[in-house]
Amino acid sequence: MARAQPILASLSVCVLLLGCATIRNDPVNVAGTPDTLANRLDLGFQEDAVEHDVVIGLSFSGGGTRAAAFSYGVLAEMDRIPVRGARGPMLDHLGFISGVSGGAVTAAYYGLKKKAGLADFREKFLLKNAEENLQTDISLATLPRAMAGGINDSTGFPRWLDANLFHGANFGQFRAEGRPRVWINASDIYNRTPFVFGATAFRAMCSDLSEYPLADAVAASAAVPVAFAPVVIKTYPGRCNNPLPSWVVKARDNPNSPPMLNAFAKAISRYHDGSMPFIKLLDGGLVDNYGLSGFTITRLSSATPYEPLTPGQAVKLRRGLFLVVDAKSGTTGNWINTVEGPSGFELFRAAADTAVDASVAGSYTAFERVMSDWHSALVKWRCGLSAAERARYGAGPKWNCRDIKFFIGRVGFDQLDPERAERLNRVPTRFNLPREQVDDVIEAGRDSLRANPAFKTFAASL
């Protein structure tokens, strides 16, 4: 009994602390109107999304500043590599980016600032301490907040991102900037599906996407469980009369539709019918750490063989490069050397890393299948065009309906020499890294791109 008293006392203290800890994450999204919900800024590529006959798509993985620096290195290197037979560098042909967590920071900033963002992103974000106003360690002092929902609420990180990077930008400004199209991906932890910040979800919940702050979307994409409380989105059922898109109903009600699309459609339906007053979002890496969901769902839900391109773009297209920029780290921890462990926060981290790594293989395989199906659909559609349609869409006299190739690959640390890869794998998943590590990862992004087999084959085919 004497030994039990200290334990009971500790539990009592924890209960008291938990009783005092409250986390408030008030939603910042607003209800829409018929005019704002009819906004088409988020739909499809801009008309100039395909320059000449080439389009490039990039997907930036999660991994804190490490992922942001690696994806930045890839972008910077693309800006140095010319395209054979065309003016300008590879970066001029970037049609879309999909980002998650740390990769979402780079994706959003480049989407907002375009090439100008390459000049100052290192100084404005990569070399700064984005954790300066956050608590990132579990201790006796932070445990009550961790148990109450998250050590940090959903205000601190968005505030920092807005002050240092986005300066009040919302999705209305973001989408108006044109090419490339950018998807920011988070995780809907109730429906266990990707949450893509786009028109489909916001129209279903009768909310105005154009007014949503870009910094809050990026923060939701990077909201690691326990370290951050969920970002909350409010639904406004009954505020609008928008019916669900036909593809949502079809995918929701068809048990044989692709599992990712079926689950996403069911989530969209719940946003729309009032059964989910609040949507809770955490790090997008929980369901897709490669950040491929945005494009995959867009293509799976397309009503035509050419979407998300326009017919004219689909006719012009000859070469497409689609790369996953993968900055995930390797295995860590020394608890494999003992009978004990992992325990405490280390156990939580090991479980989360296992779930994240298990999801990436599935998302990449699904993406490859979707791209293969899209290629086949494009060839069939192009070859079925009449002479009048070919002329209307801009096909030249020597145009070949079958002359279209996709190159798909992954750019990762493991594709560098083993010693260098091991050093990069030891870079922690944080939003505060020393200058030497930041520059090391940036240079790795440059070198990994040039060495990537898919990229080299694509460049040689132009």
DSSP result, 116-143? HHHHHHIIIIITS-TTTT---S--TTTH
119 belongs to a structural domain: yes
Please identify which residue in the block is written with the tokens 């109450």: 148
> What residues act catalytically?
101, 283
244 belongs to a structural domain: yes
Pick 44 or 269 by higher pLDDT.
269
pTM: 0.88
Structure-block tokens of residue 106: 């780079």
Domain harbouring 123, CATH code: 3.40.1090
pLDDT of residue 21: 56
6 belongs to a structural domain: no
Least confident interval from 244-258, 281-295, 345-359, 393-407: 345-359
167 belongs to a structural domain: yes
CA distance 148 to 24: 10
CA distance 386 to 369: 29
State mean pLDDT over 106-125.
95
9 belongs to a structural domain: no
Please give the tally of structural domains in the chain: 1
283 belongs to a structural domain: yes
Task: Quote the mean pLDDT of the chain.
Answer: 85
Query: Do the Cβ atoms of 426 and 297 come closer than 8 Å?
Result: no
Q: How confident is the model at residue 438 (pLDDT cuts 50, 70, 90)?
A: very high
CA distance 37 to 272: 13
Q: How confident is the model at residue 339 (pLDDT cuts 50, 70, 90)?
A: confident
Structure-block tokens of residue 203: 């129209």
pLDDT of residue 407: 97
Segments forming the whole domain that contains residue 393: 23-43+57-332+355-460
| Residue 8 confidence (pLDDT) above 50 | no
pLDDT of residue 175: 78
pLDDT of residue 145: 65
Q: Report CA-CA distances (Å) from 47 to 198, 202, 209, 399.
A: 19, 23, 21, 20
| Residue 86 confidence (pLDDT) above 80 | no
7 belongs to a structural domain: no
| Residue 46 confidence (pLDDT) above 50 | no
Query: Do the Cβ atoms of 111 and 100 come closer than 8 Å?
Result: no
* Element spanning 183, H or E: strand 181-188
290 belongs to a structural domain: yes
